[in-house]
Amino acid sequence: MRIAYLGPAGTFTEDTLKEALPGGELEPLRTATISEAILAVERGEAERALVPFENSIEGSVRSTLDTLAFDAPGVTIVGEHDFAVRAMLLAREEIELGDVRVVLSHPQPLAQCARFLRASLPGAERRNASSTAEAVRIVSESSEPWAAIGARSAADLYGCKILREGIEDEPNNVTRFVWIAPAGTEPGPGKRWKTSLVFSELGEDHPGALVEALQVFSSRAINLSRIESRPMRSELGRYMFFCDLEGGTSDPAVTEAVEALKAKAASVRVLGSYPVG
Which residue in 16, 67, 175, 195 is the catalytic one?
A: 175
Within 8 A by CB and 6+ apart from 81, the residues are 16, 19, 20, 50, 176, 177, 178, 179, 277
Is 83 one of the annotated active-site residues of the chain? Answer: no
Residues 19-32 as b or e (16 or more Cβ within 10 Å = b): ebeeeeeeeebbbe
Neighbour order of strands in the sheet with 146-150? 125-128, 102-105, 146-150, 88-91, 161-165
Within 8 A by CB and 6+ apart from 274, the residues are 77, 78, 79, 80, 178, 179, 187, 190, 193, 194, 195, 248
Neighbours of 103 (CB within 10 A): 24
Residue 186 has what DSSP assignment?
P
Is 31 one of the annotated active-site residues of the chain? Answer: no
CA pair distance 127, 141, nearest whole angstrom = 16
CA pair distance 46, 229, nearest whole angstrom = 29
Which residue in 12, 53, 83, 177 is the catalytic one?
A: 177
Catalytic residues: 175, 177
